[in-house]
Amino acid sequence: ENTLKGKDLLTLLDLTTDEILELLDFAIELKEAYKKGVETPYLKGKTLAMIFEKPSTRTRVSFEAGMLQLGGNALYLNSHDLQLGRGETIADTAMVLSEYVDAIMIRTFEHEKIEELAKYASIPVINGLTEDYHPCQALADLLTIYEIKKTFKGSKLVYIGDGNNVSHSLMIGAAKVGLNCTVICPPEYKPKEQITEKAKEIAKYTNAKIEICHDSHTGVEGADFIYTDVWASMGQEKEQLKRAKVFMPYQVNSELVAKANNNYSFMHCLPAHRGEEVTAEVMDGPHSVVFEQAGNRLHVQKAVLKQILG
């Protein structure tokens, strides 16, 4: 039974553990079909509107290609070209788009904006990144980890860097599937307290260990996965220099990864900045799974689209 039909995906809090695990299994099936060239036209005649208030390579192309591979259509809508950019309200935009298309994906700034859109849209809304969350990324990350380990229990994911949207969604996702997750960050760039608490609360039910620490070297011990993201997210470009100084001790380099398990994997949501959050040696080294991880965006989002729209 499909419990996701007609639902929004604003954060991973919208999904149960079982729903996440079923999405991952379905994504693996869709991936196999795609690799074999087997067609999967589940969404014939369906249209996804994609609103972007920030740039994107992976999210845009994987959603657009994903809809086409499922037999549907996707519309790329740059917010500057929409009347939204000239002051039409989110609510009016939501109600108008609901007359034309079957679902909306949006990448925006404040998380409240997507909540507003979802409130007024009569069709499902999918989060393609807000300042607080990046749930589709975390689903692809979980898929990548699941493919490598075949399970979540007993593995340790270490996210090191800025306590941002990507770290928030990873903590929630890890908590939901029972994956241990340590976030290592400078004290002044911690994940939001309320989101950390939420993840810890969920983790009680799945026996996952969720922790925040500030010491890069002890935190990395026993890591099966080391994950990092940019130090300055989209919208924080002006803080780049200030942040680079604070974050340098948290760079993923050969000295840091030496503390991880021997067979660790390096992950990054991309785009990456070699020489900043990660050295080229690690990013392009034998432990890096970043391109498989990026590829998994396509498969997991196709699973989400089929379940929400199917």
Angle value at C-alpha 151, between 149 and 153, nearest 5 degrees? 110
Shortest spacing between CB 189 and ligand NVA, in angstroms: 12
Choose the catalytic residue: 137, 293, 301, 307: 137
Choose the catalytic residue: 58, 168, 243, 297: 297
Shortest spacing between CB 56 and ligand NVA, in angstroms: 8
134 is catalytic: yes
229 is catalytic: yes
Taking only Cα atoms into account, the Rg of the chain, rounded to an integer number of angstroms, comes to: 19
Shortest spacing between CB 1 and ligand NVA, in angstroms: 33
107 is catalytic: yes
**Residue 34: in which H helix or E strand, if any?**
helix 17-36
Choose the catalytic residue: 58, 69, 102, 134: 134
Pair type for strands 103-107 and 180-184: unpaired
185 is catalytic: no
> Which residues share a beta bridge with 75?
49
Which one of ligand NVA, ligand CP, none interacts with residue 196, CB within 5 to 8 A by kind? none
- List residues binding ligand NVA (CB under 6 A): 129, 164-166, 229-230, 233-234, 269
Which is nearer to ligand CP, 172 or 269 (by Cβ)? 269
CB 133 within 8 A of CB 164: no
Shortest spacing between CB 233 and ligand CP, in angstroms: 10
**Mapping DSSP to helix (H, G, I), strand (E, B) and coil, where does residue 228 land?**
strand
Which one of ligand NVA, ligand CP, none interacts with residue 165, CB within 5 to 8 A by kind? ligand NVA
Which one of ligand NVA, ligand CP, none interacts with residue 158, CB within 5 to 8 A by kind? none
CB 269 within 8 A of CB 141: yes
- The tokens describing 22, both together, are 């079923």
Residue 219 CA to residue 233 CA, distance in Å, equals 23
Which is nearer to ligand NVA, 123 or 129 (by Cβ)? 129
Question: Of 200, 186, 192, 182, which Cα lies nearest the Cα of 131?
Answer: 192
Angle value at C-alpha 242, between 238 and 246, nearest 5 degrees? 140
- List residues binding ligand CP (CB under 6 A): 56-59, 129, 137, 269-270
Q: Which residues are catalytic?
A: 107, 134, 137, 229, 269, 297
